[in-house]
Amino acid sequence: MSNDTITDMNYFEIQHALDRVLLTVSKPGRYAGGEYNQVVKDWSQIQTRVALAFPDIYDLGMSNLGMMTLYKSVNDQNDLLAERVYSPWIDMEEVMRRENIPLYSLETKHALTDFDLIGISLPYEQLYSNVLNLLSLAHMPLLAKDRDEKFPLVIAGGHACYNPEPMTDFIDAFLIGEGEEAIVDVARCVGEWKAQGKVGGKTELLSRVAQLEGFYVPSFYKVDYNSDGTIQKVTPTHADAPLTVLKRIVPVMPPPVTRFIVPSIDIVHNRAPIEIMRGCTRGCRFCHAGMVTRPVRERSVEEIVQAVGEMIRSTGFEEVSLLSLSSSDYGEISTLVKAIGERYAGKNLSVSLPSLRIESFSVDLMDQLKDTKRNGFTLAPEAATERMRRIINKFVPTEQVLETAREIYSRGWHTIKLYFMIGHPSETLEDVQAIADLCKAVRAEGKKIMGHRAQVNAGVSTFVPKPHTPFQWSPVADVETSKQKQALLKSQLRGLKLNWNNPFETQLEAWFSRGDRRLGKVLLEAHYRGAKFDAWHDHFSYETWREAFAAADLDIAFYNYRQRSETEIFAWDHIDAAVKKKFMLQDWQWSQNEKTRVDCRDQCFACGILPKFSQLRQNTPAEAWECPTVTPKELRGQLLVSNTVSLEAIA
């Protein structure tokens, strides 16, 4: 067995080294672990050990609900343990490299190489360079092919993994979709293989993982390219690799996390979050989350109310946040808000309810939550002309925005935060001008009500076309165009607080959003040139990435600026998010004709969820999903149930 594992500092040596160095770095509390509610299991008694890694610093990673959800999923199992890992900040990284301290888990200070499975959270593309740095800090080879069975299996999951291709050189397997059950499956799979003496080596393990629902093993696929650089075909090269990998979902949302780890230091979000609903029925065409998190599933009011009580008791947090992609659409939102408001909200606990629709009713909801501080009220019109709102399928008339603004100011909020995007397909300077006009119009309403105290903060981000959305065919606005539009807004909105994205940073997000596996070379080249913390403005260097592209002999324009043809095979086509490409193409075409779709709670548009998950739908209670129920074939004709669709009708 001596040759079976990698030998690095043991946990005792790491703890000892930390005691020597931690007082020399900023915020040492980030690296110490030992917080209230952390789960420490007896290492020697558990056979299969999982490290859950978030590739950014503790302050950000600790606020991530996905990490806590998986931490609970794994630690709820008696035969498994999960511990946390975050990226060290620059100063701590220097110390670790100097002292040869490997990246370690916070709970027991074991080196990452002591674990059997490393699960990396990848919610957004700006973290990719940090993943490479994380592997390097863990004293592991960066390339998956250079890691044999002595190393832990490295998997990744999260929203960015719906196009995993740019990261395929580094990650052994990707979990596509929801992780609550899948993480347990893969951990047991690894555990069983380990118990069998790692039979068949890493290839055997990967072939087993490839057979698990929702897992994608990239080394089992071959990509061929056309002479113009686009993809010709993606072919499985291993008998156990499916043609397409269908995302994993949980039919019903499992019990929510309530025993959050309570950080002992100040972090980004000091609050206990609860997901009240997963998915969204609105169908905004730019929205990645809205497409990939279907079907819509809600938690019951009772479950949420009870969970909030438990969260308060078990964390002592001063804020609870009710999360979803569109809180106003939660079926029983009035009942929920009333119950939470009456029971818990008050001067000593604030309840936040983000993602509200632009309508007066939202102001009623916030009122019931006793938001006494009235700091700011956020609205996200995203676009300011009616034409553009039809194109993106988020249609809110300007008058409705103003009416809502009047309501907000007249009930005592001083500041309205307005979120917009520039760079939508076919956007003109007129559409951008309209954003400035709308901001000014909202402030003018405020001034009528409360005079100069009325404020508007505008957040204007740049649109990035995302895979698995109707806008996946669209080019990205180039840096010059974005700068021109931002300049227009800056000149028009003097005296108003305006936030915008660095257009160069947007390019990075865009390359990787719709990139292919050739970008692995770019990532590696950028890593060698010191790229990390690309999500941090001070650390992002466009020049580094430009050099990396040149070194990898790849063209930035190819990934971002070309109009993709409707027949193009995308790098992520073999990853099945369950919404059909045909549906998205139709939506893309509708968009060009300014044709909108209504909320799919009102009408099923057969996006593809039901045929893909028909069995799951049939086995799940009708009220658990917002999608209509599916009539099994043999019963059809005998039953006449409203709001039921036949599979043929939607297939």
Partner 1 sequence: MRLRLTFTKTDSLKYIGHLDLHRTLERTLRRAGLPLAYSQGFNPQPKMNLAEALPLGITSECEVMDVWLETHIDLEQAKKDLDRATPPGMQILSLNEVDERLPPLQTQVVAAEYRVTVSGGVTVDLASRARELLSQDSIMRERRGKHYDLRPLIESLSVEENILVMKLSARDGATGRPDEVLKALGVEGEQVHRSNLFFVP
Strand-pairing partners, residue 498, are: 458
CA-to-CA separations, 326 to 154, 288, 298, 396, 464, in angstroms, rounded: 33, 14, 11, 14, 20
Q: Least distance in Å: CB of 1 to partner 1?
A: 33
Q: Least distance in Å: CB of 499 to partner 1?
A: 24
Amino acid (one-letter) located at 393: N
Q: CB-wise, 25 or 627, nearer to partner 1? A: 25
Q: CB-wise, 289 or 450, nearer to partner 1? A: 450
Q: Least distance in Å: CB of 35 to partner 1?
A: 6
Q: Least distance in Å: CB of 491 to partner 1?
A: 36
Q: What is the distance between the alpha carbons of residues 630 and 608, in angstroms, rounded to a whole number?
A: 13
Instruction: Give the count of beta carbons closer than 10 Å to the beta carbon of residue 143.
Output: 13
Residues numbered 288 to 317 that lie near partner 1 (CB under 8 A) are: 312-317
647 binds partner 1 (CB under 8 A): no
Amino acid (one-letter) located at 150: K
Residues 48-87: b if buried by 16+ CB within 10 A, e if exposed: bbbbbbbbbbbbbbbbbbbbbbbbbbbbebeebbbbbbbb
Q: Are 46 and 80 in contact (CB under 8 A)?
A: yes
22 binds partner 1 (CB under 8 A): yes
Q: CB-wise, 262 or 488, nearer to partner 1? A: 262
Taking CB under 8 A as the binding criterion, the range among 27-35, 201-209, 282-290, 627-635 that sits at the site for partner 1 is 27-35
Burial class (CB in 10 A: 0-12, 13-18, 19+), 403: middle
Q: Which two tokens stand for residue 472?
A: 């996946």
Residues numbered 451 to 490 that lie near partner 1 (CB under 8 A) are: none
Q: CB-wise, 110 or 299, nearer to partner 1? A: 110
Q: Least distance in Å: CB of 77 to partner 1?
A: 23
Q: Least distance in Å: CB of 315 to partner 1?
A: 7
375 binds partner 1 (CB under 8 A): no
450 binds partner 1 (CB under 8 A): no
Amino acid (one-letter) located at 442: V
Q: Least distance in Å: CB of 264 to partner 1?
A: 5
Cis peptide, bond prior to residue 141, ω within 30 of zero:
no
DSSP string over 546-574: HHHHHHTT--HHHHHTSPPPTTPBPTTTT
Q: Least distance in Å: CB of 520 to partner 1?
A: 37
Q: CB-wise, 237 or 348, nearer to partner 1? A: 348
Q: CB-wise, 88 or 470, nearer to partner 1? A: 88
Q: What is the distance between the alpha carbons of residues 347 and 310, in angstroms, rounded to a whole number?
A: 19
Q: Least distance in Å: CB of 38 to partner 1?
A: 8
Q: CB-wise, 22 or 488, nearer to partner 1? A: 22
CA-to-CA separations, 250 to 179, 183, 289, 410, 558, in angstroms, rounded: 8, 12, 16, 43, 37
Q: CB-wise, 98 or 373, nearer to partner 1? A: 373
CA atoms within 13 A on the CB side of 283: 25
Q: What is the distance between the alpha carbons of residues 643 and 651, in angstroms, rounded to a whole number?
A: 16
Residues numbered 245 to 284 that lie near partner 1 (CB under 8 A) are: 262, 264-266
Residues 462-492: b if buried by 16+ CB within 10 A, e if exposed: bbbbbbbbbbbbbbbbbbebbeebbebbeeb
Q: Least distance in Å: CB of 510 to partner 1?
A: 38
| Residue 610, φ and ψ in degrees, nearest 5 | -65, -50
Helices (DSSP H) in 100-162: which residue ranges? 128-137
Q: CB-wise, 313 or 343, nearer to partner 1? A: 313
Residues numbered 333 to 352 that lie near partner 1 (CB under 8 A) are: 347-348
Figure out which of the listed residues 13, 21, 29, 242 binds partner 1, where binding follows CB under 8 A.
29
Figure out which of the listed residues 6, 21, 32, 441 binds partner 1, where binding follows CB under 8 A.
32
373 binds partner 1 (CB under 8 A): yes
Figure out which of the listed residues 13, 35, 505, 573 binds partner 1, where binding follows CB under 8 A.
35
Taking CB under 8 A as the binding criterion, the range among 20-28, 283-291, 469-477, 559-567 that sits at the site for partner 1 is 20-28
Q: Torsion angle of alpha carbons 356, 360, 361, 367, nearest 10°?
A: 90
Q: CB-wise, 16 or 582, nearer to partner 1? A: 16
Q: Which two tokens stand for residue 215?
A: 């897992």
Q: Least distance in Å: CB of 31 to partner 1?
A: 8
Q: CB-wise, 26 or 567, nearer to partner 1? A: 26
**Is the alpha carbon torsion for 94, 95, 96, 100 positive or negative?**
positive
Residues 571-589: b if buried by 16+ CB within 10 A, e if exposed: bbbbbbbbbbbebbebbbe
Q: Least distance in Å: CB of 29 to partner 1?
A: 5
Q: Least distance in Å: CB of 12 to partner 1?
A: 15
Q: Least distance in Å: CB of 60 to partner 1?
A: 17
Figure out which of the listed residues 17, 33, 604, 617 binds partner 1, where binding follows CB under 8 A.
33
Q: Least distance in Å: CB of 312 to partner 1?
A: 8
Q: CB-wise, 31 or 162, nearer to partner 1? A: 31
Nearest alpha carbon to residue 130 among 526, 437, 462, 469: 526
Q: CB-wise, 36 or 225, nearer to partner 1? A: 36
Figure out which of the listed residues 28, 200, 242, 331 binds partner 1, where binding follows CB under 8 A.
28
| Residue 336, φ and ψ in degrees, nearest 5 | -65, -50
Q: CB-wise, 348 or 642, nearer to partner 1? A: 348
Q: Are 291 and 162 in contact (CB under 8 A)?
A: no
Q: CB-wise, 262 or 585, nearer to partner 1? A: 262
Q: Are 467 and 576 in contact (CB under 8 A)?
A: no
Query: How many residues make contact with partner 1 (CB under 8 A)?
Result: 25
Binding site for partner 1 (CB under 8 A): 22-23, 28-29, 31-36, 38, 262, 264-266, 312-318, 347-348, 373
